[in-house]
Chain A
Amino acid sequence: MCRPTLKMLLLSAVLAFPATALAVAPDLGPSSPATQAQITALQQAVKDAQAASAAAQSTGDNAWMLVSAALVLLMTGPGLALFYGGLVRKKNILATMMQSFAMMGLVTIIWAIAGYSLAFGEGNWFIGGLQHLFLRGVGLSPNPNYGPTIPEQTFMVYQLMFAIITPALITGAFAERMKFSAMAVFLSLWSLAVYSPMAHMVWGIGGLLNATGGRFPSLDFAGGTVVHVTSGVSALVTCIYLGKRIGYPQTNMPPHSMVLSFIGACLLWVGWFGFNAGSALGASSLATSAFINTHFAAAAAALGWTVAEWIHNGKPTALGAISGCVAGLVAITPASGFVQPFAALAIGLVAGAVCSFMVFEVKSRLGYDDSLDAFGVHGAGGTLGALLTGLFATRAINAAFGKDAPTGAIDGHWGQILNQLTGVGIAWGISIVGTLVLLFVVDKVIGLRVSPEQEWEGLDLSQHGEEGYDFNT
């Protein structure tokens, strides 16, 4: 062994010190019990913080979702009730409002019993299952497929509000001439036969058109195809099957109260924030995107229709402005959580112009009596919106197909437009077939249309024994 140098002595001393210190103070060792206890405590604290953060996120998400559900219900009652009610003649105001209100009652019960299960239960490509009949198994803990941070019942009740408004939209096509009883039966069956399957295909787990894992992944953020195309096309079928109102088109039948329609339209605009931004299923930045897109499209479309009308007629009407805003809201519905704000402006502008053309020119040329323009606005607007979604959807807003995958055409994925077309085509198909079958059956069993005397007298008196306005008392 070599003679210890001064360096070695110093080195030993330096090394000896911590060794001695460790030997003297055992609490500072990496495997000591105290350190282990601290580590365990820290791990628990991290877990607690994560749980608290998740709970806070859940609280925020659930709060927004419950508000959204309330906003969507507001769209039906009184939004749509007023919008449609003001557009019909005075003698039919109550009957028109009753049709929307009846949906609020009937569809709720149908949804709770079977509608939700058929739409969102696990089944096949086309329809869900019966596992959630009477809402069995739908509890207060989240369903990871449908809003992982909110109770499944929140999701269920939110979707219910969509199921309510969709058939209510159809009533616009057969306004002023359908029996209340027949309408109630027809639309209740429609909700199960057309709405639930369509909702399943687009949003249900395992659905044919589901953006995640579907055979033809369709981008429909808040219901462009599920709500607007189905209701709009079904409306067209119904108004053709039922026939025109007595005196149409020779007799002019202007709205009896544009004031009511105006109020209804504004309620629809505000309520639509729940419809679109709520479809983010949480209070996230995606909800912010959808909120902004919704608003921008409504504004741009109101402008688009107004300008088109100003050129066409020489005067901008209030009816045109509010119809335009609704058309924009319809068109942005499928796109709301996928596009940039300026794409939303473009979509709105185009929807306002195109839907006004549908209503001014196409309807009068083809001669069908779509009384309140359910097809012209919802059917046409929804179809247009679905296709424009394929064009403008971008992963910058929503990486729907994966973090690095393109979403829509502007990302380079032009095939998405074909997928959108497929979804729209299926919506058209199921709406036409389902509606025709149901109309035929209900007509044979109950009879769909009121008698000419009842139509002349007005549905308020003939169907409900009431008058909407009595200024003589």
Chain B
Amino acid sequence: MPDYLKSALVFIFAGIVGGIFLTGMNLWAEETIEERKLQRELEMLEDYFPGAAGYEEDEVEGLNAQLVYDQENEFLGVLITTRQQGYSDYIVYQLAVDRQGEIVGLKVLEHEETEDIGGVIEEPEFREQFLGVSFQDTVSEKVDVVSGATESTRAVIDSVEEVMEVVKEEYLDQ
């Protein structure tokens, strides 16, 4: 057998063995990993929608949406994860809207705003203003911009307003 053939065979064989080994590992771990992921997601969803038992992923107009259902498969609401350009970088946040079209939660996941200024978007005082705001309201009328942190808070407010439009059209019209 020529040298190059032997080399090629050894290489291919190594690849196959490695592949089989990893496939086995994956089969073994898959279930646990999936389960854990579901568990984590549900725990997170429970914060907004008590009784959440399952969810469905969806994507509309660049928004990441999770449609949340309870044990009887009743639609509870939708959790949107999205990002918006803030003062210094993107602000990543979650917005939870229940089936009546009211905001039940807003959480900032990541931001690079100035800690003591734009950082207010993380504070409950700012976030709680959103609670109870309905899709019939205009978000910017219900929630106040924080003076000194206009750009950061304005960014969140405007973005929520846009998201609410989408949510209304996509999920609440039934």
Report whether chain A binds chain B.
no
Interface, chain A (partner B; CB < 8 A): none
Interface, chain B (partner A; CB < 8 A): none
